[in-house]
Structure 1
């Protein structure tokens, strides 16, 4: 039989490839399992840890008369994906050290024909390599239309740019719908949130964590969305904030006008960034709610705690403007957690986060301005633990948790600050001011050995910077591009 005839036989035989069930591992001809759903394990992750697609093939196919195997190159994988989806068969990729796993899967499938790319694909002249046309390779594979989808109900699959192409191609070949998420969290977009709250899903790739972690985040997706869409603070949006206190202009630009006017100004600032990024840019306030003081005050802690009622109009105004509010603490000799609890009613709102300003954190007996303040990881983790539990218990969407820093000594054991609460988006806010060179020096020092769980934020000082960066400079020259930009 000629190669072309073998391939034609494979196309005919592809219609009897069978989908794997769960537990028992029984197989059924696709022509006789119409409307039979794939057994699911709740919210599930197929880690595909070696990137070969073997795990996805095992989950979806109990047998297949053919299999497509690609080399490492993206073009080869795109061509292999087109062939696999056309034939309705699994796609695998050979990577260094994976030959045994790939060969074992071919044997398990009982494949009578192995189509290698490059190589045998040259005989399939009617299956050209799909063109990305400006989209990513992942999006190109997701867009492929299976010619022989299995007559079986499959749950939705979620993927990110870190997902291997064979994993996605195999899911598409079986007829599964694959939803691309910008982050490995089901709260990333409105669509992913709706999807995981409506039914069980399968996430492709180890970047999603364990099935338990994925299921936990899926359960948090029911807690509502944030301004700009989705349930994650970052990624999914960027924020441009005015910093200050309601008492007046001395503490920042936000207080130079009333709440409504400040919200309107924040909208104008945010709008100046929108053309520079495809992400929604929303206005924000960073409101100093406890202000470091030169005198001890009635409670002796060198910090003036604002009445929450004084803050409410500003939170209301930025909420009505479609924005976000961050409450900033300057505790003096006070305690971060005790001050946080003073504003529990405001933090119970879905669009209100928290910032800890270690510059103004003093040890007992220290006087203001005697040194730049600092905070230990234990103090930070204590607040994070409380805020995460508070957020979960009240069924709130993720909250911004911002740490201000401009010197290494402000967090002497920063490496011990945990970033493992899915209820919180951890933000490291670089507060350096001065010339461009000075600001970049601070930025680069603070980024060294930074936990990858942090998102980065940048501050533009209206009076102290020489000169202050424009929006274009802030987003084009600062790398990586900051998620949160504040103006003081």
Structure 2
């Protein structure tokens, strides 16, 4: 595959209301995650968490590898999660976006009831395609957004006000046991400056994290001019930060999603260290026709194993070139490894 061509195809960003959208070319469930069932005030109800059965966990990880014979999958690390882990017991199916813009994803494009009804439909498709794997619905909200304006501090990012994040939490409660991801696009800021600002939400048992290397502009470029990058050191910082929250607040493990569609977006991936408290998903975030997307998954996700994998589907951008269609759950469950995190934008 022509790597420069890949980068050119995927380097796509646009400004909407000064917000730069992240349209990146862009067994059985024996674990029970706690969920946010509280009302405003972020009160939660805890479920009884069953201990990890390592034999079941290993069996599910082999199932996820989907017959891979290279030795890459399942990942050999024997890091078993603490009680209450979502992965690999369930597959997460998430809707992505931002409430300020209809152009940044399905989460902000449709009114909540209509959006959730459509997500319900996708969940049913995944349950049919892989009936042995329960589906965990999720909302993936961009809480720090790369933008075309530098702002007062010249960091080219817009932090969502808490009332907007609270709105997403309220929407999530319209479905039982729904989880939420808060996504960070740092631009010219740093993950060390942005992540702690979301701590009050990440202390909740049903809130998880996503970060987008595409908009981590370590060279000082404006977001959208080129593709950004994170190193394993940045990713491990997030893992350790989340891990401390899990330990200090007696939470179930966090799921941590890292977007990726080029090699340079994540450097030194072999040094990324998942822990008992944090489950790491390397998420294929590129758009295009099915064969191109499968190639991106093979080159940048499959070839550099970390722990779990994800796959993104774009309701609009994936239709731009022949055969002008979205990949289906039936197709995606044939991948090696099977993605256990699916995101729709």
Q: TM-score range by the shorter chain?
A: 0.7 to 0.9
Unaligned runs of 5+ in 2: 1-26, 28-50, 61-75, 319-323
1:447 Cα offset (Å): 3.1
In the alignment, which residue of structure 2 is the partner of 1:268? 121
In the alignment, which residue of structure 1 is the partner of 2:343? 486
- Give SS of 2:85's match: coil
Q: Deviations over 1:376-416 (max 9, x none)?
A: 12111112111111111011101111110000011122222
Q: Distance in 1 between matches of 2:228 and 2:219?
A: 12
Number of residues paired by the alignment? 274
In the alignment, which residue of structure 2 is the partner of 1:294? 148
Q: Distance in 1 between matches of 2:224 and 2:54?
A: 50
1:318 maps onto 2:172 in alignment? yes
2:249 alignment partner, one of 394, 401, 422: 394
Q: What does 1:21-420 correspond to in 2, within 5 Å? A: 160=55, 181-183=56-58, 220-221=82-83, 231-277=84-130, 278-321=132-175, 322-363=177-218, 365-419=220-274
Asked if 2 retains the 8 angstrom alpha-carbon contact of 1:428 and 1:456, the reply is: yes
Are the structure 2 counterparts of residues 157 and 375 from structure 1 closer, same or farther at C-alpha, using a change threshold of 3 Å?
closer
- Give SS of 2:233's match: helix
Q: List, as ranges, runs of 4+ consecutive aligned residues in structure 1 with deviation greater than 3 Å.
A: 156-159, 182-185, 258-261
Asked if 2 retains the 8 angstrom alpha-carbon contact of 1:245 and 1:255, the reply is: yes
1:233 Cα offset (Å): 2.0
- Give SS of 1:250's match: coil
- Give SS of 1:271's match: helix
Q: Deviations over 1:319-342 (max 9, x none)?
A: 441221111111101111321111
In the alignment, which residue of structure 2 is the partner of 1:437? 291
Asked if 1 retains the 8 angstrom alpha-carbon contact of 2:231 and 2:268, the reply is: yes
Report the TM-score when normalising by structure 1. 0.53
- Give SS of 2:145's match: strand
Q: Distance in 1 between matches of 2:327 and 2:102?
A: 21
Asked if 2 retains the 8 angstrom alpha-carbon contact of 1:254 and 1:285, the reply is: yes
Q: Deviations over 1:449-487 (max 9, x none)?
A: 423x42110011111113211232233x43322101111
Q: Deviations over 1:101-137 (max 9, x none)?
A: xxxxxxxxxxxxxxxxxxxxxxxxxxxxxxxxxx9xx
Q: Deviations over 1:1-59 (max 9, x none)?
A: xxxxxxxxxxxxxxxxxxxxxxxxxxxxxxxxxxxxxxxxxxxxxxxxxxxxxxxxxxx
Asked if 2 retains the 8 angstrom alpha-carbon contact of 1:266 and 1:285, the reply is: no
Are the structure 2 counterparts of residues 308 and 316 from structure 1 closer, same or farther at C-alpha, using a change threshold of 3 Å?
same
Q: Deviations over 1:420-452 (max 9, x none)?
A: x1111100000121111111110100135423x
Are the structure 2 counterparts of residues 317 and 448 from structure 1 closer, same or farther at C-alpha, using a change threshold of 3 Å?
closer
Are the structure 2 counterparts of residues 264 and 318 from structure 1 closer, same or farther at C-alpha, using a change threshold of 3 Å?
farther
In the alignment, which residue of structure 2 is the partner of 1:91? none
In the alignment, which residue of structure 1 is the partner of 2:310? 457
Are the structure 2 counterparts of residues 447 and 363 from structure 1 closer, same or farther at C-alpha, using a change threshold of 3 Å?
closer
Q: Which has the higher contact order (CA 8 A, sep 6+)?
A: 2
Q: Distance in 1 between matches of 2:263 and 2:77?
A: 32
Q: Distance in 2 between matches of 1:446 and 1:275?
A: 28
Q: Distance in 1 between matches of 2:273 and 2:299?
A: 20
1:472 maps onto 2:330 in alignment? yes
* Structure number with higher helix proportion: 1
Asked if 2 retains the 8 angstrom alpha-carbon contact of 1:308 and 1:346, the reply is: no
Q: Distance in 1 between matches of 2:196 and 2:143?
A: 12
Report the TM-score when normalising by structure 2. 0.73
Asked if 2 retains the 8 angstrom alpha-carbon contact of 1:246 and 1:311, the reply is: no
1:263 Cα offset (Å): 2.9
Q: Deviations over 1:126-180 (max 9, x none)?
A: xxxxxxxxx9xxxxxxxxxxxxxxxxxxxx99561xxxxxxxxxxxxxxxxxxxx
Q: Distance in 2 between matches of 1:263 and 1:244?
A: 13
Asked if 1 retains the 8 angstrom alpha-carbon contact of 2:302 and 2:336, the reply is: no
1:182 Cα offset (Å): 3.5
Q: CA RMSD in A?
A: 2.5
Q: Distance in 1 between matches of 2:222 and 2:239?
A: 27
In the alignment, which residue of structure 2 is the partner of 1:113? none
Asked if 1 retains the 8 angstrom alpha-carbon contact of 2:213 and 2:260, the reply is: yes
